[in-house]
Structure 1
Amino acid sequence: MDPMERLLAERACERLILDFVHRLDLGEPALVAELFTEDGWWEWPPPGDGRRSEGREALRTYFGARPADKLSRRIMSNIRVTVTSPDTAEATSYFTTYRVEGWTGGMVPAGPPVQVGHYEDTFRRVGGRWLLTSRTLRLPFGGPTPRAGD
């Protein structure tokens, strides 16, 4: 690949990673589904709480079911995209999640993160647009989500 094409592909994939958390935290969570290919999937594998949603409609349902009283902010870092062909790429990115349940508005006292982990992603260019084909969450650090006011 031409170096400029590679750079543009890397940037497009980085943007998908950032758009994913933006839609979850500040946008409409159900719209996360539009960042995936039609057959794309998201997975939170065992141990413990294994989940998998496959296909845009299942992703829309899964992410759209987030309770309105759950406030979260995710911090993404160490985004490393590797272009594997002109139309495919993979990435690893780290995340830290701050979250409370029972939120009714306003500011809540800061607490420690409830999750620290990384995502393993694959991407495919479809019709000139980069999309996620898979997103696997790896969670080595996690704890219970506190309730606001506790």
Structure 2
Amino acid sequence: MTIDELLARETIRHTLALYNNAGDRGAVDEMMRCFTQDAVLELGDDRPEGWEAIRAYFKAILDSGLLGGTERRAARHYVTTSRIELDDTETAHGWSYFLLIRGDVILQTGMYIDRFRKTGDTWLLSSRRVKLEHDGLNR
């Protein structure tokens, strides 16, 4: 593994951390900085395409109160076992397990199946498929 490959993987991990941290704080615009303009999000039957559609989708979820509204009761994402594979110098793909909790209640578990594209000095999500294994939110 080269230094450039290590740097790419670490930059992708940073993007994943930014996304989850922003989402847990309800900072939709910060979450969107992790996506390419033409990104696709897949969650069950929902498939918003493009930056504006994904932003509206996240905003609706956060505005619904489904994930909790206060800092004390807000939901938290925990992401583990991330595997990142570089396709070439401009694209990559990866998988991560996630756990979404509020207090001591498990809301969701599953897997993120991601594609990344290098944009300038950073790597952004060009697609994310959320594969739910447990959905306590009954979406």
TM-score relative to the length of structure 2: 0.85
1:75 alignment counterpart: 78
Percent same amino acid at aligned positions? 31
- What is the CA–CA distance in structure 2 between the aligned matches of 1:5 and 1:122, rounded to whole Å? 18
1:76-91 equivalences under 5 Å are: 76-91=79-94
Structure 2 runs not aligned, ≥5 long: 69-73
Cα distance in 2 for residues equivalent to 1:5 and 1:33: 25
Which of 42, 50, 57 is equivalent to 1:55? Answer: 50
Specify the SS of the correspondent of 2:33: helix
Q: 2:125 is matched with which residue?
A: 132
- TM-score normalised by L of structure 1: 0.79
- Counterpart in 2 of 1:105? none
How far apart in 2 are the matches of 1:11 and 1:129? 10
Give 1:112 deviation, angstroms: 2.7
Indicate the RMSD between aligned Cα atoms, in angstroms: 1.7
- Identify unmatched segments of 5+ residues in structure 1: 100-109, 146-150
1:1-150 matches, within 5 Å, as 3-45=2-44, 50-65=45-60, 66-67=62-63, 69=65, 70=68, 71-99=74-102, 110-144=103-137
Runs of 4+ in 1 over 6 A off after TM superposition: none
SS in 2 for 1:114: strand
Do the aligned residues in 2 keep the contact of 1:75 with 1:97 (CA within 8 Å)? Answer: yes
Structure ID, larger Rg: 1
Secondary structure, counterpart of 1:11 in structure 2? helix
